[in-house]
Structure 1
Amino acid sequence: MSAAGEFVDDTLQRESSWYRAEDMRHRFGGRMQYYGASVGAVRGTVRDALRRHPGLAHDEVTALSSELWEVPVYERRLAAVVLLQSKVELLTNSDLTRIEGFVREAHLPTLVDPLAVDVVGPLVERLAGQPRLRADAVLDRWAGDPDVWLRRASLMAPLRALKTGGGDWDGFARRAGIVADLPPRPDNSPDQEAIMAVLEAVAERRPELRLSFRR
């Protein structure tokens, strides 16, 4: 394990709480292990790690994110998400492959949504030309994927930009249409919830944004 990875893991374990771990296991299920560290502790740990290891370049950041994600401990995986949020300006559209792997293994909105909204969304927004076209094609593919969490990520990605008056509404509408053409699912499925979350987020400030198909 890298020095930065060891620091993050050791610190998170020191921040552990057995009762918080039990509560998280009850809420999130048994797919992962839980240290019982708070979200604030995770964010502070990543911030301290970046201070201890300044100047991390793209390859070092992405390698550290994979190192943290590899062990199925919730707080480690959340730390990987926070790391990518903190260094999103370093990421390129080629990193969508790595993020796709994270989303496929996450199975929780508390991991999938920040990856989509705070990492994938800003990453794609700043792309132009062929890199943007390739990234849009990736998100379109995600929208039609059998993995419901990947579909959710494709829909949630533009949320932050849409809420602030920008964003790719046409891309969201296209992907929502792809999802709508899939076999019927419950209204509370993760992808259906994502469509509603985006529509509710833009409804008040941008009422002109509407979907033209029946969901």
Structure 2
Amino acid sequence: MSDLADQVVARVVPMFTAEADPARAEGQRAYMRDQFPYLGLTLPQVRKMSKTLMKSVPPAGPDDLREIALRCWEMPAREYQYFACEILRADALGPSFLVTLRTLITTKSWWDTVDPLATRIVGDLVRAHRSLAATMDEWSGDDNVWLARTAVLHQLHWGVETDTRRLFSYCTAQAGHRDFFIRKAIGWALRHYARTDPSAVRAYVDAHRDALSPLSVREATKHL
């Protein structure tokens, strides 16, 4: 057990509970299709309190962050999972942390935690440790929708560093997927990369229009 993790968990619970808004919590729970209970905190509130809390304790290492995140994932209120997503920083992690991220992605899974983990934490970790791209290759074909979505989205903020071969191959491999979250991820990833290379995205969509879902095509070409 980490002393720092104990400190953080002991502080975050009363901090978040003090700002709880039961009326807002009901609306949040309904919006998220009754997937999770809520305290009624807004995301800006979570972000502000997360920064305040983490500045008040010693710097957290990978082992501390792992324990904090896993303990937050065990808590019922969704805001604690948001807190974990906020405090994970790829520059404080190592390649082995991807195992923990897989656990977080495949546990209490929904887009609200998977997307920040995919686009920021996993994405930054793979960019810093390129050997992890082989794991993204595995995830891109995984039966777990959230792992596949993470693989498609992990390069979202890479810009000119994007490995287009991987991006396009992941999209092609999942083009016929029936799940909304995969179809949406394909469109989102392509649309975002179109900011960097619109001609490449246009050419890809034109070549694969028959295989891609209408949702993926619509999202990918929204700003072309």
TM-score, normalising length: structure 2: 0.83
Match of 2:166 in 1: 171
SS in 2 for 1:30: coil
1:148, distance to aligned residue in structure 2 (A): 1.2
Kept in 2, the 8 Å contact 1:46–1:83? The answer is yes
Match of 1:81 in 2: 85
In the aligned structure 2, how far is the partner of 1:199 from the partner of 1:55? 36
After TM superposition, the structure 1 = structure 2 runs for residues 30-45 of structure 1, keeping only pairs within 5 Å, are 30-45=34-49
> Which amino acid in the other structure matches residue 39 of structure 2?
Y
Percent of residue pairs identical: 24
> Which amino acid in the other structure matches residue 62 of structure 2?
H
SS in 1 for 2:106: helix
1:208 matched to 2:199: yes
RMSD: 1.8
Q: 1:185 aligns with which of 178, 201, 204?
A: 178
Give the number of aligned pairs. Answer: 202
Kept in 1, the 8 Å contact 2:94–2:125? The answer is yes
Match of 1:122 in 2: 124
In the aligned structure 2, how far is the partner of 1:137 from the partner of 1:184? 21
1:137 matched to 2:134: yes
After TM superposition, the structure 1 = structure 2 runs for residues 140-151 of structure 1, keeping only pairs within 5 Å, are 140-151=137-148
SS in 1 for 2:157: helix
1:72, distance to aligned residue in structure 2 (A): 3.0
Match of 2:106 in 1: 104
1:205, distance to aligned residue in structure 2 (A): 3.8
After TM superposition, the structure 1 = structure 2 runs for residues 18-37 of structure 1, keeping only pairs within 5 Å, are 18-37=22-41
In the aligned structure 2, how far is the partner of 1:19 from the partner of 1:175? 41
Kept in 2, the 8 Å contact 1:13–1:37? The answer is no
> Which amino acid in the other structure matches residue 194 of structure 1?
A
Kept in 1, the 8 Å contact 2:61–2:93? The answer is no
Which one has a bigger Cα radius of gyration?
2
In the aligned structure 2, how far is the partner of 1:115 from the partner of 1:194? 14
In the aligned structure 1, how far is the partner of 2:69 from the partner of 2:146? 19
Kept in 2, the 8 Å contact 1:12–1:41? The answer is no
In the aligned structure 1, how far is the partner of 2:170 from the partner of 2:20? 40
In the aligned structure 2, how far is the partner of 1:169 from the partner of 1:9? 43
Kept in 2, the 8 Å contact 1:144–1:178? The answer is yes
In the aligned structure 2, how far is the partner of 1:47 from the partner of 1:179? 37
Match of 1:49 in 2: 53
SS in 1 for 2:28: helix
1:38, distance to aligned residue in structure 2 (A): 1.1
TM-score, normalising length: structure 1: 0.87
In the aligned structure 2, how far is the partner of 1:9 from the partner of 1:170? 44
